Amino acid sequence: MSDYKIMRAGDAPDYTKGDASPFLGYGRPLGAEQIAFNVRVIAPGASHVPPGFDPAGGHSHNTIEEIYFVIDGELEVKLDDDVLTLHKRDAVLIPPHVTRAARNLGDEEAALAMVSIRVEDAMAESNLHEGFWPG
């Protein structure tokens, strides 16, 4: 038998613990040593921010680049001063120091995959930026 691991969709832990649109972890639970892979399911009108944080907020990273890949739906993404729309199967490569945010302005649920290298402490690698979206 090959040395692989499989995780069924229903087994992916929700890092929000049900307090917000699901933030599903795949890389760590699978035991990935090099890859961070997470999926954020974003309800209509919701933003990709941690539960309890400013919905107009964004974040950046100190050293890691990240790929955002839209699995389903349509998302508005802000990258520093640029605002663009990503559609199903669109992707964007985001360098470390670029402040980023995503929100779902549509009427349907959207799903966003986030891929980067794995770091031991993801929060120490992240910088939160309140009030990032325009008023």
In whole angstroms, what is the distance from residue 110 CA to residue 96 CA? 24
Q: Which of residues 105 and 90 earns the better pLDDT score?
A: 90
The single-letter code of the amino acid at 133 is W
pLDDT of residue 91 exceeding 80, the answer is yes
pLDDT band at 30 (very low <50, low <70, confident <90, very high): very high
Instruction: Give pTM, 2 decimals.
Output: 0.92
- Tell me the β-bridge partners of 110: 42
Question: Domains of the chain (ranges plus CATH)?
Answer: 12-129 (2.60.120.10)
In whole angstroms, what is the distance from residue 78 CA to residue 85 CA? 9
pLDDT of residue 9 exceeding 70, the answer is yes
Q: How far is CA 27 from CA 42, 76, 116, in A?
A: 19, 25, 10
Average pLDDT over residues 96-112: 95
pLDDT at 87: 97
pLDDT at 52: 78
**Helix (H) or strand (E) segment spanning residue 28:** helix 27-30
pLDDT of residue 134 exceeding 90, the answer is no
Q: Who contacts 4 (Cβ-Cβ below 8 Å, separation ≥6)?
A: none
Q: Which of residues 13 and 50 earns the better pLDDT score?
A: 13
